[in-house]
Chain A
Amino acid sequence: MSTVADIRAIANLTKAAIRQSLFSRILGSPVAFVSLGSLLILIAAIIAAPLLTPFDPNSGDIGQALLGPGADHWLGTDSSGRDVFARILYGGRNTLGGAALALAVASILGVTTGLIAGYHGGKVDTGLDWYTNLVIAVPHIMVLLAVRAAWGSNIWLIMTVFGVLMAPGYHRLVKGIVSGVRNELYVDAARVSGLSLPRILGRHILIAIRAPIIIFAALSAVVVIGVQAGLDFLGLGDATVPTWGTMLNEAMVNLYIAPGLMLWPGLALGVVNAALILFGNGLRDALEDSKSTKRPSRRRGISANAPKAGTSGSAAVPAAGGSDGDTRAGAGTAVVGVPGCGFIPDEAVLSVENLNVGYPSGDGHKLVVKGVSFGVRRGEILGLVGESGSGKTQTAWACLGLLPTGGQIVDGSITMSGRDIGSVSARERRGILGKKIAYVPQEPMSNLDPTFKIGYQLVEPLRRQLGLSKAEAQAKALAMLARVGIANPERTFDSYPHQISGGMAQRVLIAGAVACDPAVLIADEPTTALDVTVQAEVLDLLRELQHETGMAVILVTHNFGVVADLCDRVAVMQLGKIVEQDAVEALFSNPHHPYTRMLLSSGLEDKKPRTRLLPAATPVLEETKP
């Protein structure tokens, strides 16, 4: 039987499953396609049995018993002189037909109860859970033997009962998926649209469980066929009905006289089961591949830059072509920066020169950062600002050496104290990260490991990077927590991430980032996920820490208010390029580049309420995603 882990693994595929049509995914997987093809050919042959063989599977000429393969009887005859080929074909009708019946019963029962339990939850769900757990606990073979003893060895009856016993597997799978999909916003939207329950279930929910059900059915068909063949092989089936199992049973009797008889039913079972398993696995792999098309979203802003962008397909590559933004400028036209946009100050702690970051696509690279140059001095806060798809986060990741899989620095250098840190080994990088360059991420909660206490997560890097003893590291961590304004450091030190608020978590991450006294701090949208009152406090904290330590800060953000609050210098990015760079006052009071001007004018400050923000004549040039 399929394990719970199996069910979970399949259920995890749902998100991907609903993103691409099922058929095209089957076609896209050679394994799934070939195995499904061979299954269909076999089924067609079984259905067309009367056309393929003139013999009756149940009557034979006893004088022709146990013949080897020949011109008349292609696969020979059995001990009663019946044609083996005919028995394989007609037996397939019963074997596969019985399996199909069991699967149909199991899936109809299980999907229905799963849908109801998943969608409604509550008492119905609890009741059904009791029932399914009970059925799972009953030994299936015993029940089947009891049914046979009570009502005889009718294959269809036994398979129906087996279907009922298999239903809990489907129930659990469907329930798991449905209770997830039920909370999707599009299901809420459908409810608000006035759709009736059956329609919502049919249109929005069944579609999500379709592919996992097919995979699960393919794998559980193997179990059904195995159990059924096993019962027949043991002689518990109806000997008058040809199945592959009864054929095996007969072959066993004549094993020493005609060992070849074992081959054909065994081969048929083997081919069918292998095809089913390969089909299930192939479809699962195909689904997993397409998973990377999933877009990550941040709470208050959608980032085109997938932090853990998938491994395959250009779909996962952050869109650099302005494909995500409704950006006006630059659509179709080349982006050209104003003079001074690639300014690198003298004595920069970190300088980036002509940086190009690309992701493999087709032949060559798709560039997401194109010839970016900037530098940051000690004690300076540089803002990298831009909309989604501008390449600002990619630039930050390149500086950290943490580009997602596939991403690489195609050209250019990232220099820190005379060394190009863009091309160092992973080992050297570990020595740089944390100690020389630190990082404050966007989502505080997802950057703390939920399974470890905060204290442990702060102490371990300190011991590793600074070589402190456990007690020293602990004292330093507590001091850092106090420094970032956490009221009760001991308590926070002893808490798990889920026990603290988002603002506190961001303070903890800042404490961890500055603990090793880095020369450069890269903060990627550090306040985007926080409430404004908390944001103001975190910005205050960053400002204070920067004043105290004199570290250089690169602040990646889309929020011009945050830039105005914190930064000394600003670089505006558009479509992978810096289009303008200037001191913060100068940039806000006198923006040169049309894109900067457009961004600044899109803000809501000083606008008369309830008036148009953008001139009506502005052409709508919204590109679609490639």
Chain B
Amino acid sequence: MSAPLLEIKDLVTEFPMKGWRRPPFRALHSVNLDVKPGETVGLVGESGSGKTTIGRAVLGLAPVTSGSINFDGQDISRFGSRERRSLSKDIQVVFQDPYTSLNPAMTIEDILAEPLIVQGLDKRAASDRIARLLDRVQLPSDAAGRLPREFSGGQRQRVAIARALALEPRLIVCDEPVSALDLSTQARVLDLFLEIQEATGVAYLFISHDLAVVRHISHRIAVLYHGEVLEFGDAEAVSENPQSPYTQRLLLASPVADPVRQRQRRQARLAAL
């Protein structure tokens, strides 16, 4: 058992509400999670479950009301902007919507060069690195000079993955990275995630609403409901033999792409009601 790379302890996140003296909205209630080096932890839950908030709190984009987020043994939950910037080498992100996560006015090369140049690479080294990154995510090398709007959703998501990989991070927060993609594109991008992990040993905090996706990519799965972790354990155990009634419901509600088995699943679901 290796020491965790990321350890979230009793994380509480509250968002202030508009209006005088209104109590803040508590998005996360005491969440505990950990991610080991090179591991994929899937966060699954429906809308409002707080799965995205956990990812954003790790990235420093959501407030931490109490609790701690330890990365590599260091509590990063109260980092200032300077310390946060130095973390960018270790923690990166791939967002859900490849249409709004790339600045439409910048070329692919500029988008990929930005983190590199901030880290002090010169232009030439950066452009070498960009060529390798594009190759890594299986995009043609002439993609560099083009604008995001010239690419399809799947290709844009590859650019976003390349940007996340640029600084060779140890953890990538993947916030619904395949839910905006077509089925065959989704399969391709999932393959890419797995391949990158094998090659680089990066760890993923993989957030999705789709239990099937999370089951496929994760070593361990945490099931979230209304800001609480209901179940956290081995991917196979959670997805095949869920302990919490909610996970069972979630499992039975996901339709199988097979009419016969789906009928059985539907009957099982209706029987469980």
What residues of chain A have their CB less than 8 Å away from a CB belonging to chain B?
Answer: 18-19, 21, 184-186, 188-197, 199, 203-204, 207-208, 293, 295, 297-302, 323-328, 387-388, 502, 531-536, 539-540, 558-565, 584-585, 588, 598-600, 602-605, 607, 609-614, 620, 622-625
- Additional A-B contact list (5), CB under 8 Å, known A204-B103, A532-B253: A189-B93, A302-B153, A540-B266, A560-B257, A604-B215
Residue in A193, A293, A602, A614 with the greatest tally of chain B CB atoms within 10 Å: A193
Residues facing A in B124-169 (CB within 8 A) are 138, 146, 149-155, 160, 163, 166-167
Residue numbers in A under 8 Å from B86 (CB-CB): 194
Interface size on B, residues (CB 8 A): 86
Q: Are A192 and B88 in contact (CB under 8 A)?
A: yes
Q: Which of B163, B186, B257 contacts A563 (CB 8 A)?
A: B257
Residue numbers in B under 8 Å from A190 (CB-CB): 103, 114
**Total CB contacts across the A-B interface at under 8 A:** 231
Q: Are B179 and A300 in contact (CB under 8 A)?
A: yes
Binds A, one of B4-12, B24-32, B69-77, B187-195: B187-195
B181 contacts chain A at the CB level, 8 A cutoff: yes
Residue numbers in A under 8 Å from B146 (CB-CB): 624
**What are 20 A-to-B residue pairs whose CB atoms are below 8 Å?**
A18-B105, A19-B104, A192-B59, A194-B115, A195-B118, A302-B153, A326-B182, A387-B184, A502-B47, A532-B250, A536-B252, A564-B257, A564-B261, A604-B212, A604-B215, A605-B256, A613-B190, A614-B188, A624-B150, A624-B152
What residues of chain B have their CB less than 8 Å away from a CB belonging to chain A?
Answer: 40, 46-47, 59-61, 81, 84-89, 91-93, 95-97, 99-106, 114-115, 118-119, 138, 146, 149-155, 160, 163, 166-167, 179-188, 190-191, 194-195, 209-213, 215-219, 235-236, 249-250, 252-262, 266, 269-270
Residue numbers in B under 8 Å from A563 (CB-CB): 257
Q: Which of A186, A293, A613 contacts B187 (CB 8 A)?
A: A613
Chain B nearest Cβ from A514, distance in angstroms: 21
- State in angstroms the CA–CA spacing of A193 and B151 once bound together: 22
User: A193: nearest residue on chain B (CB-CB)?
Assistant: B115
Residue numbers in B under 8 Å from A604 (CB-CB): 187, 212-213, 215-216
Q: Are A609 and B185 in contact (CB under 8 A)?
A: no
User: B96: nearest residue on chain A (CB-CB)?
Assistant: A185
- State in angstroms the CA–CA spacing of A598 and B188 once bound together: 12
Residue numbers in B under 8 Å from A531 (CB-CB): 46-47, 209
Q: Are B188 and A326 in contact (CB under 8 A)?
A: yes
Residue numbers in A under 8 Å from B163 (CB-CB): 189, 193
Q: Are B59 and A325 in contact (CB under 8 A)?
A: no
Q: Are B215 and A609 in contact (CB under 8 A)?
A: yes
- State in angstroms the CA–CA spacing of A301 and B213 once bound together: 14
Q: Are A600 and B257 in contact (CB under 8 A)?
A: yes
Chain A nearest Cβ from B47, distance in angstroms: 6
Q: Which of A194, A297, A562 contacts B119 (CB 8 A)?
A: A194
Q: Are B61 and A186 in contact (CB under 8 A)?
A: no
Q: Are B259 and A188 in contact (CB under 8 A)?
A: no
Q: Which of A196, A561, A609 contacts B216 (CB 8 A)?
A: A609
5 closest Cβ contacts across the A-B interface?
A561-B255, A194-B88, A560-B257, A531-B46, A387-B182
Decide yes or no: A324 and B216 within 8 Å by CB, A295-B99, A588-B259, A612-B194 being known contacts.
no
Decide yes or no: A561 and B254 within 8 Å by CB, A194-B89, A197-B81, A532-B46 being known contacts.
yes
- State in angstroms the CA–CA spacing of A298 and B167 once bound together: 31
User: A610: nearest residue on chain B (CB-CB)?
Assistant: B194
Q: Are B254 and A532 in contact (CB under 8 A)?
A: yes
User: A613: nearest residue on chain B (CB-CB)?
Assistant: B187
- State in angstroms the CA–CA spacing of A581 and B46 once bound together: 33
Chain B nearest Cβ from A462, distance in angstroms: 31
Residue numbers in B under 8 Å from A605 (CB-CB): 212, 256-258
- State in angstroms the CA–CA spacing of A186 and B95 once bound together: 9
Residue numbers in A under 8 Å from B100 (CB-CB): 184-186, 297
Residue numbers in A under 8 Å from B215 (CB-CB): 604, 609
User: B148: nearest residue on chain A (CB-CB)?
Assistant: A186
Q: Are A325 and B180 in contact (CB under 8 A)?
A: no
Residue in B91, B184, B188, B218 with the greatest tally of chain A CB atoms within 10 Å: B184
- State in angstroms the CA–CA spacing of A237 and B73 once bound together: 70
Q: Are A536 and B253 in contact (CB under 8 A)?
A: yes
Q: Are A189 and B182 in contact (CB under 8 A)?
A: no
Q: Are B91 and A192 in contact (CB under 8 A)?
A: yes
Q: Are B253 and A607 in contact (CB under 8 A)?
A: no
Q: Which of B153, B186, B212, B256 contacts A564 (CB 8 A)?
A: B256
Q: Are A19 and B105 in contact (CB under 8 A)?
A: yes
Chain A nearest Cβ from B57, distance in angstroms: 13
- State in angstroms the CA–CA spacing of A532 and B184 once bound together: 20
Q: Which of B61, B92, B183 contacts A560 (CB 8 A)?
A: B183
Q: Are A536 and B212 in contact (CB under 8 A)?
A: no
User: A17: nearest residue on chain B (CB-CB)?
Assistant: B105
- State in angstroms the CA–CA spacing of A564 and B266 once bound together: 11
Decide yes or no: A561 and B262 within 8 Å by CB, A185-B95, A192-B93 being known contacts.
yes
- State in angstroms the CA–CA spacing of A319 and B245 once bound together: 43
Q: Are B155 and A622 in contact (CB under 8 A)?
A: yes
Q: Which of B88, B212, B259 contacts A584 (CB 8 A)?
A: B259
Residue in B46, B114, B194, B235 with the greatest tally of chain A CB atoms within 10 Å: B114
Residue numbers in B under 8 Å from A295 (CB-CB): 99
Decide yes or no: A585 and B105 within 8 Å by CB, A532-B209, A610-B194 being known contacts.
no
Residue numbers in B under 8 Å from A564 (CB-CB): 255-259, 261-262
Q: Are A609 and B236 in contact (CB under 8 A)?
A: yes
Residue in B93, B182, B191 with the greatest tally of chain A CB atoms within 10 Å: B182
Chain B nearest Cβ from A368, distance in angstroms: 16
- State in angstroms the CA–CA spacing of A293 and B148 once bound together: 12
Decide yes or no: A196 and B85 within 8 Å by CB, A536-B269, A561-B256 being known contacts.
yes
Chain A nearest Cβ from B229, distance in angstroms: 18
Residue numbers in B under 8 Å from A297 (CB-CB): 97, 99-100, 180
Residue in A19, A185, A612 with the greatest tally of chain B CB atoms within 10 Å: A185
Q: Which of A194, A195, A301, A388 contacts B179 (CB 8 A)?
A: A301
- State in angstroms the CA–CA spacing of A17 and B141 once bound together: 28
Q: Which of B85, B119, B210, B259 contacts A585 (CB 8 A)?
A: B259
Residue in A18, A302, A539 with the greatest tally of chain B CB atoms within 10 Å: A302
Q: Are B105 and A533 in contact (CB under 8 A)?
A: no
Residue numbers in B under 8 Å from A196 (CB-CB): 85, 118
- State in angstroms the CA–CA spacing of A534 and B253 once bound together: 8
- State in angstroms the CA–CA spacing of A387 and B259 once bound together: 20
Residue numbers in A under 8 Å from B81 (CB-CB): 197
Q: Which of B106, B118, B182 contacts A388 (CB 8 A)?
A: B182
Chain A nearest Cβ from B261, distance in angstroms: 8
Decide yes or no: A535 and B253 within 8 Å by CB, A194-B115, A602-B187, A612-B191 being known contacts.
yes
User: A611: nearest residue on chain B (CB-CB)?
Assistant: B194
Chain B nearest Cβ from A178, distance in angstroms: 14
Q: Are A598 and B184 in contact (CB under 8 A)?
A: yes
User: A390: nearest residue on chain B (CB-CB)?
Assistant: B182
Residue in A189, A295, A387, A623 with the greatest tally of chain B CB atoms within 10 Å: A189
Q: Are A326 and B184 in contact (CB under 8 A)?
A: yes
- State in angstroms the CA–CA spacing of A195 and B119 once bound together: 9
- State in angstroms the CA–CA spacing of A85 and B131 once bound together: 60
Residue numbers in B under 8 Å from A559 (CB-CB): 255
Residue numbers in A under 8 Å from B99 (CB-CB): 295, 297, 302
Residue numbers in B under 8 Å from A323 (CB-CB): 152
Chain B nearest Cβ from A299, distance in angstroms: 8
Q: Are A293 and B149 in contact (CB under 8 A)?
A: yes
Chain B nearest Cβ from A454, distance in angstroms: 21
- State in angstroms the CA–CA spacing of A565 and B183 once bound together: 17
- State in angstroms the CA–CA spacing of A218 and B142 once bound together: 39
Q: Are A561 and B153 in contact (CB under 8 A)?
A: no
- State in angstroms the CA–CA spacing of A298 and B153 once bound together: 12
User: B254: nearest residue on chain A (CB-CB)?
Assistant: A532
Chain B nearest Cβ from A214, distance in angstroms: 15
